[in-house]
Amino acid sequence: MRGGFSCDCRGVGTDWDVDELRKIASALLGTVDIVPNPAGLAADFEAMMQASMAKEVADVALRVWTPQHATVRFVKQVAPAVGDLTGRCAQMAPQAVDYPTGAWGTESRDYHLCVDVEPGRIGQEMLAARVSLILNTASGRRALGQGLIRAIWTEGEALSTRMSRHVAHYTGQAELAQAIQDGLEARKPGDEDSAALRLGRAVVLAHESGNEDTANLLAKVVDVIDPATGTVRLKAKVADADEMALDTRSIKTVRVKE
């Protein structure tokens, strides 16, 4: 039952569908990964149990309050993995909605929110949203933390077009995951040109963001000729486990370098 518990999913061997398992893990706010060799299942299960036992709170939600006439366009988790929470909100008050994030341990996660507000006057500042981390327990709800999102209207082109480097980084990480999935999907029916184009783009993004784990997985599927330009050549033969590992772990991200 969605919302009743979290579920970490593992595919053993290669006789399973990555997209199918990823949908289950996403719906149940868990993780998904591949165990290529059944011999490694015991160690992976032990690691999952240790991670599960380290969870200190069971039910945490991201509450987003917006003023009248403002609209939340999307809410996405961007670290440690990409996940879209937009369609999973529960109305808690006329202008406040909760987005489930599952159980937490001693960890940090990053989220990307987009809020549409009505146009204002030049120089005007307004509170566009208030974001709180809410712990749900049998005895009630309490806030664990809160942040404010402000909107300021300006005529300065440099200010209005400037993008936070954190937003730019995570937008690139989301594009990286999509490029990998698109490239592998194109590779299945033999569309080598599209596959090379999309996986080449993934190589560029992995290289620019310093996502070494994903870059190493890509190198098992394509021969990287120039990582800066995304010039790649599809490998003639790729192990099913290597292709599935790249697909499964495509949603894992790296944080912004300080």
Q: What CATH number did the domain enclosing 246 receive?
A: 1.20.120.1690
Which residue, of 107, 142, 161, is where some domain finishes? 161
Residue 219's domain spans which residues?
165-251
Over residues 219-250, the pLDDT tens digits come to 999 999 999 999 999 999 999 999 999 999 99
Residue 35 lies in a domain: yes
Which residue, of 112, 132, 161, is where some domain finishes? 161
Over residues 60-88, the pLDDT tens digits come to 999 999 999 999 999 999 999 999 999 99
pLDDT at residue number 1: 46
* pLDDT above 70: percentage of residues in the chain: 98
Report the predicted TM-score, pTM, of the whole model to 2 decimal places.
0.90
What span, in angstroms and rounded, lies between the C-alpha atoms of 163 and 213?
26
- Asked if 210 and 256 touch (Cβ cutoff 8 Å), the reply is no
DSSP of 114-183, one letter per residue? EEE-----TT-EEEEEEEEEEEEETTEEEEEEEEEEEEE--S-HHHHH---HHHHHHHHHHHHHHHHHHH
In terms of domains, do 26 and 114 share one? no
Per DSSP, the chain holds a count of helices (H) and strands (E) of 7, 12
Amino acid at 146: Q
Which residue, of 94, 126, 161, is where some domain finishes? 161
